[in-house]
Structure 1
């Protein structure tokens, strides 16, 4: 069977990306779609729009709605949900580790485990002990992975990934990009993105 591809762009600080990350591979497999995990930093893209904080914080009414919505959606999918004490969490170290782990196909398991720790358990993703615990739980040498994620090569890759995200028109997380460049934003567009990547064209009015 021919395999299709879908790029899954996400910032670890995004709670809606948590919902998508915990569902995406099972859904993709039903359509013979391979997922490319693309962690990046959303902060620079927000900054380019003049935002100095998460929209959850900049627009309090919207923030209150989103936290309630996240609780509802998590329950819908049977996922635990606990808002982190400080939002948005600092995702820099996590994104660097994710990019480093892409070289040996461990970025997916790491991403799911860290999302679960952050938004399922309310742990602090920027805490070195939390990162080490997640890595060790996956059988990864935590000290080595953390050290190598801070290399100049990984830092340069992060800059390139974030610039690619900006140049391709990304403005939020999660975002899904199909092989033909179709962009879908938000956890609630995951199923549609996978269908499109597989060759189905629901809602295509072009």
Structure 2
């Protein structure tokens, strides 16, 4: 029996990146299909989020995400550029956000084809694995190809259906909140949310109780 789960994911979230490769590997090696559910990051949904946070929050997050990557052996480097256009001094979020909107819509278009998990893992590795100018050249085309997709086809869909894709992305966010959480990465399995890259082992433990086995 194949199990089913949903993974709520943001391309701007370092912890989403730190989780996605392990969830992809799990879906390939064990009897679970994991559907990607992309959402826009808090910087888009709540532009004042960073201004409201404790001053130590950002520093701690940087320390933590690098050490998680080191501990797990995951390639990690600061995104170049950041998927979010933001003033580094004031933390103000720009009104125009071409990078995050494009890549999140591409992720949703990939999810429509049942290949969202693979695309998110490949694109996430570009963004957070240290690829310079990940949004230019053949970077995303390569990520799409490695996922069994064609970037030109995805980009054409993004250009033709931005509002429909955004509605689906908003529905993903609502589904996440309906499941009992609001942040990413969150895996939802049989209505139970597992938030954070540090809950992967617990999610696997729960799925094993429901029949998860190697393929």
| Distance apart, 1:114 and its partner CA | 0.8
Q: How many angstroms apart in 2 are the aligned matches of 1:39 and 1:23?
A: 17
| Unaligned segments of structure 2, at least 5 residues | 85-98, 211-215
After TM superposition, the score normalised by the length of structure 2 is: 0.76
Equivalent in 99, 121, 124 of residue 130 of structure 2:
121
Aligned partners of 2:204 and 2:12: how far apart in 1? 23
**Distance across 2 between alignment mates of 1:54 and 1:5:** 34
Match of 1:99 among 105, 108, 132: 108
Aligned residues between the structures: 193
Structure 1: how far apart are the matches of 2:150 and 2:32?
30
Indicate the larger mover: 79-88 or 190-199.
Answer: 79-88
Distance 2:202 2:55 in 1: 30
Q: Is 2:195 the counterpart of 1:185?
A: yes
RMSD: 2.8
* Cα distance change on mapping 1:143 and 1:7 into 2, 3 Å: same
1:23-172 → structure 2 map (5 Å cutoff): 23-28=22-27, 32-43=31-42, 47=46, 52-54=48-50, 58-85=53-80, 87=82, 89=84, 90-123=99-132, 127=135, 129=137, 130-136=139-145, 138=147, 140-150=149-159, 151=161, 152-172=163-183
What is the CA-CA distance between 1:198 and the residue it aligns to? 3.1
1:44 Cα deviation after fit: 7.8
1:156-179 Cα deviation digits (max 9, x unpaired): 222222222233332211011111
Normalising to structure 1: TM-score of the pair?
Answer: 0.79
Counterpart CA distance in 1 for 2:26 and 2:146 is 25
- Structure 1: unaligned runs, 5 residues or longer: 201-206
